[in-house]
Amino acid sequence: MYGSGIIKGMGVTLKHFVETYVEDLKLVFKGGRYNDKYMAERQGPKARGIFTVQYPEEKLPVPENFRYIPFLVFDTQKNEDKCTSCGICAKVCPPQCIWIVRTNDPKTNRPVPQPAQFTIDATICMSCGLCAEFCPFDAIKMDHDYELSTFERFTTLVFDKARLTKPDTYHAAIHPTDWARELQDAAEAARKDAEKAAAAAAKKAAAAAKAAEAAKPGGEAKPAA
Ligand code: SF4
Ligand code: SF4
């Protein structure tokens, strides 16, 4: 129906308007006061009604899946970048704002799976998150840091590798669900590798036993021609 979207939108606004006073009245009837605890609940991501946040003194906590500019994950256990400079993120980035330079082994001049340079132009990035979605190594994630305002675009908003890199402990802190999934995947991969190694070792042992059996006098070994 023509205009149904406008009516629906107005309905949402009206709902927020009414909820604002309902929430405030609830506080009055409970004999509550406008203290920090109340405001933390009142201005959280699940708050109902209309309210004003006195930014920057007050800040709303962002949800886990909130995304702004990507960052590179540094593996603190292995003490190395997780990025292998495969270039997939740069290929899928819609506005093409990622530049990667691979590391080359100075002796052989062959590529090493580590980025020598990794640059993202934060003024072009549209925070779509496709780079993080497509990275096969969980090496790039979307950051929660949105306070990037500056007067100098080229000197501060073209992020180099050092600016983009953050430890995996930071990733675990802001994306606990994603981090738990990664740990589970790693444990599952380790279990499969151990199974494969055990199967290969058993196969090798069986072959060695068979060869030893055949080498015995009267065994299956054929005499040399
Ligand atoms: S961040 Fe991921 S997708 Fe991008 S180059 Fe590094 S490993 Fe490849
Ligand atoms: S979030 Fe989107 S636009 Fe930004 S670097 Fe990643 S793929 Fe490119």
Look up the CATH number of the domain holding residue 175: 3.30.70.3270
Q: What is the DSSP letter of 44?
A: S
How many angstroms separate the CA atoms of 60 and 174, rounded?
A: 14
183 alpha-carbon distance from chain centroid: 13
Q: For residue 25, is it within any domain?
A: yes
Q: Tell me: do 108 and 154 sit in the same domain.
A: yes
Instruction: Give the domain range for residue 42.
Output: 9-60
Q: For residue 213, is it within any domain?
A: no
Q: Tell me: do 76 and 47 sit in the same domain.
A: no
Q: Tell me: do 74 and 165 sit in the same domain.
A: yes
In tens digits, the chain (225 residues) has pLDDT values of 788 999 999 998 999 889 888 877 877 777 666 666 666 666 666 677 767 778 888 787 888 999 999 999 999 999 999 999 999 999 999 999 999 999 998 889 898 999 999 999 999 999 999 999 999 999 999 999 999 999 888 889 999 999 999 999 999 999 999 999 999 999 999 999 999 999 999 999 999 999 888 888 765 555 555
Query: What is the Å distance from ligand 1's center to 133 Cα?
Result: 10
Strands (E), 60-205: 70-75, 80-81, 98-104, 111-121, 140-142, 158-159, 165-167
Q: Tell me: do 118 and 40 sit in the same domain.
A: no
Query: What is the Å distance from ligand 1's center to 180 Cα?
Result: 20
CA distances for 17 relative to 13, 55, 93, angstroms: 6, 21, 40
Q: Report whether 73 contacts 82 (CB < 8 A).
A: yes
| Ligand 1: residue whose CA is nearest its atom 4 | 89
96 in contact with ligand 2, CB cutoff 6 A: no
User: Which among 67, 68, 98, 163 is the best mutation to test ligand 2's pocket, defined by most ligand atoms within 8 Å of the CB?
Assistant: 98
100 in contact with ligand 2, CB cutoff 6 A: no
| Ligand 2: residue whose CA is nearest its atom 5 | 125
Q: Tell me: do 33 and 119 sit in the same domain.
A: no
Q: For residue 2, is it within any domain?
A: no
